[in-house]
Chain A
Amino acid sequence: MKYVAEFRQPELIHKLAGEIRRTVTKPWTIMEICGGQTHAFMRFGLESLLPPEIELVHGPGCPVCVTPLELIDKAIAIASRPEVIFCSFGDMLRVPGSHADLFRVKAAGGDVRVVYSPLECLKIARQHPNREVVFFAIGFETTAPGNAMLVWQARQQGIRNFSMLVSHVRVPPAITAILSSPGNRVQGFLAAGHVCTVMGYWEYEPLAERFRVPIVVTGFEPVDLLQGLLRTVRQLEAGRHEVENAYERSVTREGNRPAQELIARVFEPCDRTWRGIGLIPDSGWRLRPEFAAFDAENRFPVGDIQTQESSVCISGLVLQGRKKPHECPAFGTSCTPAHPLGATMVSSEGACAAYYRYRRSL
C-alpha cells in the first residue's frame, strides 16, 4: 500500500538501527506513549535491532486500557436496559468490568453494536426512533474529532433519541503526571503521531522545557519508529530537550485547526480518573453544559455502582512504565487475552497483550 510499504523497507530499517547503535554511548530510558506504537515495536521485532543501552518503557496511551472501571460498569448497566441500542468501537466489548463485559451483555440479549465510524450512530438512531441509542465515546485526542462531530450533528439534525457516555482523555496531562511522579525513570518521549496530527505539538513545547526532556513526534511504521528513536537519542546524547517532528507527512505544529475548533465547541477539560493510575487533573474532556441533553450519564440513572478491581493485576504499574508485563505473577498463566484480568491484556494496544502475542519466550 502506498505510504505504508515505503516506510517498511528493510534497507532503511537497518540503516536507522545502525545509526542508533552508532549514536548511543550510555543507557537511556525512552517511553513510547502510544499503545499502537508499543504494538508496532513488538510486531516488527524492532527491539531486537536496538543496542542494549536503550530501554523502551510503554506508556498509558491505550484508551481502552485507561477507561475507568466505573465507566465500564456504567456502560454495562446502560447497555443492559431493554430500550437501549448501545454502540461502541469494537475493542471495548471485551474489557472486563467488575463482574461482566459488554460481550456478556450482548450474549444475554442486550442490543450491543460495533461501529467503525461514530457517525453510524446517527443512522441507527433515525432507523429506530423508539429506542435510545447510546455511543461509548472513549479515546484520546485522535477519536475526539469524530465523537465531537457525532454529537454536533445529532444536535443539528434534531436527533433526540441519542446520547453519549463520554470518557475522553488527553496526552499532555498524562506526560506531566508521569514526569512529576517520584519514581519516574523516563528520559525522553516518543509523542503519538495521530494525536499530534489532530492537536499539533505546540502543547508539548512547555513540557519539554519544564521537565528538560526531548519529545519527538513519531509515526507508526517501522521506519517512523526508528527515526523517532534516533532523533530522541541524538537529543539525549547532546543534552538537548526540544520538541521535534519526525512525522512530517501527517503532523504540523498547529495541528488540524477545524478539528480543534469543533472539539472546543463540544467538549471542555475536566479531571479524569485513569484505570490503574488514578485521578489526573485536567486530563479529560467532558461534554459542555449546552450539550448536557446528550450526556448518557444524565439520561440514565446508573448512580450507585460498586467497582471491584482484580487484586493480582499490576496493569496500573505497567501503564506508568514502572513494571513490564512479564513481571506480573498472573501474566500468561491466570491472565491471558482469552481470560484477561486487566485492560492491558484485553486491548490490541495493551502492553500485556503485545508481550503475550510477540514475546512469550521471555
Chain B
Amino acid sequence: MCLGVPGRVVEIFEQDGIRMGKVDFGGIVKEACLAYVPETEVNDYVIIHAGFAISRLNEEEAQETLAILREMGEDVPMGEFTSR
C-alpha cells in the first residue's frame, strides 16, 4: 500500500486540467499524476505511489547518502550465526 517506486519523468502533459506525466520505471512507462510536484521537469526522478508522484527525488541527497556509506568502516565478521 505504501510501496513507492522511483521513476524518471519522460513527458509532461495536461489532462482534464490536471498535470500528468509519463514516467519510466527502468523500461516500463506508466502515466502518473504530477500535480503534487509542480517544480518537476522532464528527466527528473520522482517517487510514484498509487498513480501519484508524492516527491521529486533529491538526487544530490541520494549521492551524498551513498558517499557517506561507502566511507564507513569495513564489515566485521559475524560471530556464530544466530537464528531467531
Residues of chain A having any CB pair with chain B under 8 Å: 1-4, 6-7, 12, 14-19, 21-22, 34-36, 47-49, 51-52, 55, 61-64, 89, 91, 116-120, 122, 138-140, 142-143, 145-146, 149, 153, 156-157, 192-195, 197-198, 220, 223, 227, 248-251, 256, 258-259, 262, 347, 349
Q: Check B33 against A149 for contact (C-beta < 8 Å).
A: yes
Interface residues of B in 61-84 (CB under 8 A from A): 61-62, 64-66, 69-70, 72-76, 78, 81-84
- Residues of chain A within 8 A (CB-CB) of B64 are 248
Interface string of B38-69 (1 = CB under 8 A from A): 10000001010111101101110110111001
Distance to closest chain B CB from A84 (angstroms): 22
B36 within 8 A of A: yes
B32 within 8 A of A: yes
- Residues of chain A within 8 A (CB-CB) of B78 are 17, 21, 49
Q: Contact residue range for chain B?
A: 35 or more
Distance to closest chain B CB from A137 (angstroms): 11
- A16-B69 contact in complex given A1-B6, A48-B81, C-beta closer than 8 Å: yes
> What are 16 of the A-B contact pairs (CB < 8 Å)?
A7-B66, A12-B70, A18-B76, A19-B72, A19-B73, A36-B1, A55-B84, A62-B1, A64-B1, A116-B50, A117-B33, A146-B51, A194-B49, A197-B47, A220-B3, A223-B69
- Residues of chain B within 8 A (CB-CB) of A149 are 18, 33, 35, 52
- A249-B58 contact in complex given A140-B2, A143-B1, C-beta closer than 8 Å: yes
Distance to closest chain A CB from B22 (angstroms): 13
- Residues of chain A within 8 A (CB-CB) of B83 are 48
Q: Check B36 against A250 for contact (C-beta < 8 Å).
A: no
Report Cα–Cα, A220/B6, bound state, in Å: 11
Distance to closest chain A CB from B67 (angstroms): 11
Q: Which of A35, A116, A153 contacts B16 (CB 8 A)?
A: A153
Report Cα–Cα, A349/B1, bound state, in Å: 8
- Residues of chain A within 8 A (CB-CB) of B74 are 15, 18
Report Cα–Cα, A284/B28, bound state, in Å: 35
Report Cα–Cα, A347/B1, bound state, in Å: 9
Q: Which of A22, A119, A193 contacts B76 (CB 8 A)?
A: A22
Report Cα–Cα, A194/B58, bound state, in Å: 14
Distance to closest chain B CB from A148 (angstroms): 10
Q: Check B26 against A2 for contact (C-beta < 8 Å).
A: yes
